[in-house]
Every structure is written in C-alpha cells, then in structure tokens.
Amino acid sequence: MTAPAAATTAWHDGPVTGVQQQSGRRPILRQGSKGAAVLDVQRRLSALGYWMGAADGMFGPLTTQAVYALQKSAGLARDGVVGPATWAALTARVRPAAGTRSGKVVEVDLRRQVLLLVRDGRVQRVFNTSTGSGRTYSVGGVIKRAVTPSGTFRVRRQVNGWDKGPLGSLYRPRYFNGGIAVHGYGSVPPYAASHGCVRVSVSAMDWLWSQSWLKVGDVVVVR
C-alpha cells in the first residue's frame, strides 16, 4: 500500500510553552504541552490519518490517543509522549498496512491494538483502541474470558446513546458480534483492557457516527 503524501509542515524554532527543549533538538511533548510544536505534531498525525479531532496546538487526551496509535503502528513504547523515537516515526510517515484489499472495511488489529478504516486496501483513518484483555471475569455467576474473537462480521445493531449492560454502559455502540461492539468509552488505554468489545474514545465514536463508517450492514474484520 502506498501512503498518501503527508502535508508539508514547517518546523518552528521559537519558544514552546510547557515542554522541555534541548538545543538543536525537537522538543519532548506530552499531554499538557501547547504551542507551535504541538500544532506541528497534530498536523503531521492528521496528514497520516491518525484521528485526533481538531489541530489546535493543545496536547490534550485526543492527541494522546493519536500518539498511542502512531507508537503502536511503529512498534514503539506506548507512553503517549512525543520523544525522539516518536518524532522519527512521524518523519518516516509510519502508517499501519491494511489487511484487506477490496471494499469498505473496518479492521480491528488485535496485535497492534488499532482500529483502521480501510477502503479498497487503503487506510483512511487510524484510531487507538483497546480490545479484550484475555483475563477472566464473572457475570451473573458465570466465569468468562475477556476475548475479542477474530473473524469477519457485519454491524447488526446500534444504539444512539449510552447502552447499559451487565458489565457497564457503552457509548453509541455498533454491535457486530453478539454483545461485542465498537463503542465509545471514557478509558481507552494503550493496551488490551476490555471485556471483549472494541473501545475508542467518546469523541472518536461521535465522529464515527457522523461519518459513513460502521453503519448497520458494514463489514468488520477482526484480525
């Protein structure tokens, strides 16, 4: 797959608020940083397809989610901090490859823990996600294992709001495998942590509902 050309973004040499900066080196950025360097990172992430909402120069939770997704795609430590290795991944324009070659598909990459929007083999958007942790849990006195099964599915049902279930409430879920859904959640860590569902941020789920992705009948491939 050939990645689309990234937008050209000039590097700013001026002072950067809230970050550590070393002479002759790009600053280390993390949640809470702000300024021109953050805006540069956000624009680079967006150009590569990593979803993070609006580029505003403020390193908030959504920018952290996008940095997690980049770090996962590049095989880096998932700390949400834009240090030398993450800068290098941005410069190299690292993007995950699609696993499908035709059609409009939502792919869930279990190994990398990313969700991809793919059209005809080209990755359109990349999201940080958190899937089944593999741990055991109890519901209604029954012991189960938190697994997100692999396979090809279709979205069968959706709820436009918080859907309360036995394991908690899911935000605007799109169910594709029984009770397993892609849904918004308040916590989307950079590792597998769910009971089996595919978590994205609440803001990301709002964006997905506003787009033509994950509609009832759409294909979801978990691999």
pLDDT digits (tens, 9 = 90+) for 39-51: 999 999 999 999 9
Distance between CA atoms of residues 223 and 213, nearest Å = 18
- For residue 217, the model assigns a pLDDT of 98
pLDDT digits (tens, 9 = 90+) for 74-100: 999 999 999 999 999 999 999 999 999
User: Does the domain spanning 36-91 belong to CATH 1.10.101.10?
Assistant: yes
Q: Residue 16: is its pLDDT beyond 80?
A: no
Alpha helices in 81-148 (DSSP H): 84-91
Distance between CA atoms of residues 138 and 19, nearest Å = 44
Structure tokens at 78: 């998932």
Q: Is the distance from CB of 44 to CB of 53 less than 8 angstroms? A: no
Structure tokens at 81: 């901090």
CA atoms within 13 A on the CB side of 37: 22
Q: Residue 2: is its pLDDT beyond 80?
A: no
Q: Which CATH number fits domain 104-222: 1.10.287.70, 2.40.440.10, 3.90.1150.10, 2.40.128.110?
A: 2.40.440.10
pTM of the model: 0.88
Phi, psi of 38 (to 5 degrees): -65, -45
Domain with CATH 2.40.440.10 in the chain: 104-222
Sign of the torsion formed by the C-alpha atoms of 187, 31, 69 and 162: positive
Domain with CATH 1.10.101.10 in the chain: 36-91
